Every structure is written in C-alpha cells, then in structure tokens.
Structure 1
C-alpha cells in the first residue's frame, strides 16, 4: 500500500513481485558492481542483545545516483527450537535526490529469495557445466527457496535432501517431487556427499556437518547457513581443500565462521580467499580452473543485494 509517498511491501507483496529469474539477474549485477567499486556498502554491524539475540544493520548505496538505504534485521532463536534462528526485519530505501524515505519492504522474505538467487549465481559461475547431482543439507526455509533457484542455472537430474530431522527432510522431498522435481531424501550423508557434484549447506548447525575428506574432486560447495563468527557447518579441512570464493572479502575476514576457524587452526591464511564472486563474474579472477578443482562459495549476504531487490520491487510498485 502507499501513504504519504512511502510505499510499504509486506511479505506477500515481496513474494508476488520478486521472481527468481529476475532476482538472479539483479543479484548477479549487484555482485559485479560491488566488486567493481560502483556500489557502496559498509561492513555489517551487529549488536549482541544477549541470549542468542542479535540486531544487525547493513547500509549501502546502489550504483551512481541511485537509491540508497539499509537492511535492519533481528536474528532471534525460535523458542521451541533454540538451534534455529529466524531473521526478521526491514529494508528501507531513500530517494537519491531529496533524501526522502520512499520504500519499506519485508527483509525476511527478500532475504529468503535473494540468498537462493545468490547461490544460483555462484553455482552458475563456479560449478562444472555438466553437473547433474545436487545435495541440499538442511530442512529450513532456505532449502525450499534453493529448490526453486538452483534448477534455473543447471539441469539437475537428481536432487537429494539430508537433514538431522529425517521426517522433515522426507516431507520436503515429497513436496518437491509433487511439483515435478527429481527430489528424494537421504539418511546417509557421507554417501550422498560422495555422489554430489553441487552441495549447499543450509543449516543452523554450530558444529561441522560436512567434512572435507568426504568431497570428490570437481565438486562445488555453497556455504550458506552460517553468517556470523562461531557456528560452523563445515570443517577446516574442507576450507583448506577448496578454492574459497566469497561474496565480500571485507565481510568474510571478520564473519565467515569456517574460514576464521581454519585460519585460527593454522590451516589457511587471508590469501586463501581467492576472490569475491563479483571479481569472477567480471572476468578479473578465474574461479574454476579445471574439472578437478573443489570450489566453495561463502554466502554472507550483501546489503546491496537486498537494496537491489527492494529497488526492483519499489519501481514495479510505482509502475502499477
């Protein structure tokens, strides 16, 4: 709805207006312009409210004289499932001419969609062209969105879901299969990893669930679930073995938990970060050198990804 020149977009409006193919294209450009220095963002700042509760602020400005703003998000544990943390918040946009706030959009829904879109962009840039087997580790909302985004960039013939909650994994697989996707649930994670050519970690795990020794040559891994120092989904051996590519070098050096743990253990140093994904997309750095490389993409989330998605929704609202 619109009032006093301020457009507000709730979760339903975000879902209706932000399609996956369009969001993949927007995220790809946001990653390129950030690495090119055209768009601007500051490192995220996080206030620890205690009890596992966090409040994050992520400001940024889109390319040129475009919209600017910030993502404001709370990350709170769910009372009935303390290991699962839910992100809620707002993306706020300001007009670049007179500084008016012009749009407020639901950040949780934008985050769900654009995170999966960013994984799809990285997979398209880093995974082998002939991959057919996808493994999703986790059973939360990001698993559902990645099921929608990743088949848009590769023709997967087999999609496996593994989760600590086997019933939930089976339910997700059944839902996806009813929608025509070749999805099934698995309980033997090492065996699933051995067969996988693209893997996504989408968990709330605090300790590694995916080990580097399990990986086959040529696999691509997307590390998505952990976005703050501390909880790690994968071990240091995985970080050591892979060509480690990030969405933001500045953010990764302070917030990529598995990288920080591997660095503290003496397995890697800061130069182990090969590139930002935007540098790969711009052709400045080679992501995958050959079919035997193990590549990994660390997703922490760009503020400019959220701003680009919100700007797209805002302009579509103005057109209507």
Structure 2
C-alpha cells in the first residue's frame, strides 16, 4: 500500500521558511509544466489534472470541482508523487492541504520581491479555506507586519475567522460591519491579498495608496475578476507563469482582450524575479501586483519536500 500523507501531516512537514526556500529553488531550477488540463464533466462539474516533472521528480494533482455534490467539500484533491526514473507511484498526499500551503507560500515569495520591506499593514479579502493560511504565511515570513485586517462578504464569518487567528497570537482583526469598511481598509493597507472566487472586482484601484502591493490568488478562470481595471492599469504586474495566467486569469484576460492594458504591462513571471533577470519593485511609490492561478511546479516542490524525495 502506498504511503498516504494526511492534511495534518502535509501541514506539519511544510513550515513556512522551509517551504518558501524550496519554492524559490524550484522556480530557479524550473520544471516541465504543461498547461492545466480542465475537463467539463457536466455543466457545473469539472475534473482538473495538474502534472509537472523535472530531472528528479514527477507528480500530478487530481482535482474535482462539484458544487452540487452531497460531499462536505465542493473541491477535493489528491496529489500522486511518482518515481521519475521508473514511473512507480511513491506516495499519495492530501491535495487541498498541499494547495493552500504552497499557494500562500508562493504569494509570500512573490511579495519578497514586490512588497516594500517596511510594509506593516496587511488586508486579506476572503474567508475561505485559503485565507487563514495566507495570514499565517505573511505573518511568519514578514515580521514587519503588525496589523492584519480581514474582510469578507459575510461579516460574521470574517469576525469568527479573525477571532480564531487572533487566538493563535496573530495581530488579526475583522473589518467593521459598516458600508465603507472595505474602502477604508484598502486605503490604509500596504499589502492587499484577495483570496476569493469573485466574478466582479472587489479591489478598487482608486482606493489604493501609493506603494501598495496587491496579491491576487483567488481567481483561476477567465470569468473571475478580483481587481478592477484601475488596479490593473496602475500596477507593475508579475504572474506565476505567463502560460497559465495569460490564458486563465480573468484579471488579465479581460482587460488585455479589451485593450485596457497592453501586454507589456505584465513585466515578468516569478521565475524571472527569482533569477534576477527582471527586477520586482523598482520604486517605493509604485503599486505592484502579483497574479497567480496556481502552478504545478509549486505542487511538485511541496510534495517532494513532504516525502523527502
């Protein structure tokens, strides 16, 4: 029987400093990462396959998205790590834990090049599975952060999550339940992370202060938008990968198709920042933006770390 790494084991095996370092190394080394395979099982159900391989490792993530399922979770995932030389399966890992862990760590890695060193005020938009890991990753890796605001469409959920994170000793508070709460939080924050599946923009560029870093991690289809056109036009944009983001991210696909932003607005993919061939932030007053749709290279690096392969 193949070894199975539960969600608890995956999280325990991936402390933030170790994972961020492994991801930096993985982006520097590169891997073969075919475009995500998306298959419609029905009008609402989907099957996603995310393979990647390098000279030393081989793996694939299998994801199902079934909104009408009676299962407890709409999205379920498994990761299968295989021997690169023989193709033999080596281990199976909880895919959701792997995904939230590597996504948050990749955001923090990108922010190390794009956010100001003195950024102390973080806003996280969204209250789903990814949100608490994003808060934990930023707080663990950026000691300058002294205040975290949490905003969600359902204030009670935001308050409950903020209280849970505060009980861990993190400087988290929910945005007040009032009409201009999000506006005020966006205007006051140095780093803004949106982790939602919104189809209409939530981040309004007119509300951002100079020097803000925007981290868009929720949208992964052309129909999803987390940031408005003003945000995209004002930003120095970096993506996790050109191939994935320019074909799948609505925050880019939509304004590019309409000619609202030029292709040159997307200045780099993350591997180029890691390699030092293209700079990240070039001015303290610059608004920077990282758009990720999820890259199988990240799954492979994290799974390899979990299994010690």
Q: Work out whether the TM-score is over 0.5.
A: yes
- The secondary structure found in structure 2 opposite 1:41 is coil
Q: Does 1:8 align with 2:4?
A: yes
Distance across 1 between alignment mates of 2:290 and 2:271: 11
* Cα gap change, 1:116 to 1:78, in 2 (>3 Å): farther
Task: Structure 1: give runs of 5+ residues left out of the alignment.
Answer: none
Residue 272 of structure 1: how far off its partner (Å):
1.8
1:275 aligned residue: 268
Alignment partner for residue 155 of structure 2, among 156, 162, 166? 166
Say which of 75, 84, 94 aligns to 2:65.
Answer: 75
Which residue does 1:240 correspond to in 2? 233
Q: Distance in 2 between matches of 1:107 and 1:161?
A: 25
TM-score for the superposition, normalised by structure 2: 0.93
Aligned residue number for residue 173 of structure 2: 184
Superposed displacement of residue 270, structure 1? 2.2
Q: In the alignment, does 2:253 pair up with 1:260? A: yes
Give me the whole-angstrom Cα distance separating, in 2, the residues matched to 1:223 and 1:233. Answer: 7
Q: Normalising by structure 1, report the TM-score.
A: 0.90
* Contact in 1 for aligned 2:224/2:249 (Cα 8 Å): no
Unaligned runs of 5+ in 2: none
Secondary structure at the counterpart of residue 283 of structure 2: coil
> Are the counterparts in 2 of residues 246 and 273 from structure 1 also a CA contact under 8 Å?
yes
Q: Is the 8 A contact 2:16 2:141 kept in 1?
A: no
Q: Deviation of residue 78 (structure 1)?
A: 6.2
1:1-320 alignment runs, 5 A limit: 3=1, 6-34=2-30, 39-62=31-54, 65-77=55-67, 86-154=74-142, 155-186=144-175, 187=177, 188-315=181-308
Q: Which of 140-149 and 192-201 deviates more?
A: 140-149
Q: CA deviation at 1:79?
A: 6.1
Q: How far apart in 1 are the matches of 2:113 and 2:141? A: 9
Equivalent residues of 1:244, 1:275 under 8 A apart: yes
- Is the Cα–Cα contact under 8 Å of residues 163 and 169 in structure 1 kept in the other structure? yes
**How many residues align structurally?**
303
Distance 2:222 2:68 in 1: 20
Paired residue secondary structure (2:41): strand
* Cα distance in structure 1, aligned partners of 2:298 and 2:284: 30
8 Å CA contact 1:236–1:259 kept in 2: the answer is: no
Backbone CA RMSD of aligned residues? 1.8
Q: How big is the shift at 1:138? A: 0.5
Alpha-carbon separation, structure 2, partners of 1:131 and 1:230: 31
Kept in 2: contact 1:123–1:153 (CA 8 A): no
State the alpha-carbon separation in 2 of the partners of residues 75 and 214 from structure 1: 34
More strand by share: 1
Partners of 2:126 and 2:195 within 8 A in 1: yes
- The runs of at least 4 aligned residues of structure 1 exceeding 4 Å deviation read none
Quote the offset at 1:30 in angstroms: 1.9
